[in-house]
Amino acid sequence: MENREPKIISFLCKWCSYAGADLAGSARLAYPPNSLVIRVPCSGRVNPLFIIRAFSQGADGVLVAGCHPGDCHYAEGNYYARRRLQVFRELLSFMGIDKRRFRLEWVSASEAKRFADLIKEFTREIKELGTAVKP
């Protein structure tokens, strides 16, 4: 285990997860500042190459968060994300990346506490894993 703080890249859907993160900030919920947030139109728009690039540029963990299934602003975007990113997750070990360094989660706009708890938990897990091995 290392002493340095992990770098986490979070791709958040602008309609739900980003709004949940914004609400967590507005409500002054405490969570680690380790996550760099990238707002995307929909979790279904997160290309697996974005995740590979994040890891190759020094990220220790990557989080993709979107609307709950059935609540997507674009009807089926989160279903596409779930399918694509579950398959992608299985390929991470080929690149020498522990699968625990990547998470796909659902956070609605009203779930500020869930977002804060998710970031706390993911940061703790990544700290335990240490520095990521670059692909």
- Kindly report the CATH number assigned to the domain that includes residue 28: 3.40.50
Judge whether 78 lies within some domain: yes
The pLDDT assigned to 1 comes to 45
The pLDDT assigned to 4 comes to 80
Whether pTM > 0.85 for this model: the answer is yes
- For the chain (135 residues), the mean pLDDT of every run of 10, in chain order, is 82 97 95 95 97 96 96 93 95 94 97 97 95 60
Q: What is the C-alpha separation between 30 and 101, in angstroms, rounded?
A: 22
The pLDDT assigned to 42 comes to 97
The pLDDT assigned to 110 comes to 96
The pLDDT assigned to 99 comes to 96
The pLDDT assigned to 22 comes to 96
Judge whether 94 lies within some domain: yes
In which domain, by residue range, is 83 found?
A: 8-129
Specify burial of residue 117 (Cβ count, 10 A radius: 0-12, 13-18, 19+).
Answer: middle
